[in-house]
Amino acid sequence: MRFEDLDFQPTTYGGIQATQKFGKYELSVIKEPGKRLFEVAIFDSSNLFTQLPGIHRTPKHDEDFVDDVIPYLTPEQVSGIMLKLASISA
């Protein structure tokens, strides 16, 4: 599964979104209107945001905030995240 395999659908706010299941995780990929890059979020089996090592940024200090949403991604970077999700879900 690669970025090119995602099935994007229009959103109610004028963007596009695709979702893909990887075992107990679901990846959501969106592109907002007027943007060139994509953002992703990963949800667990309870449909809650989840952060995964090797995909999300590691905080440098305990008080560092790491957003659940990963912004400013190229299609190639989204494919890389999809490959990581596939490898941990196998």
Q: What percent of the chain has pLDDT over 90?
A: 82
Look at residue 59 in the predicted model and tell me its pLDDT: 73
Supply the pTM of this predicted model: 0.90
Q: What percent of the chain has pLDDT over 70?
A: 97
Look at residue 71 in the predicted model and tell me its pLDDT: 95
CA distance 22 to 42: 10
Banded pLDDT at 60 (limits 50, 70, 90): confident
Look at residue 79 in the predicted model and tell me its pLDDT: 98
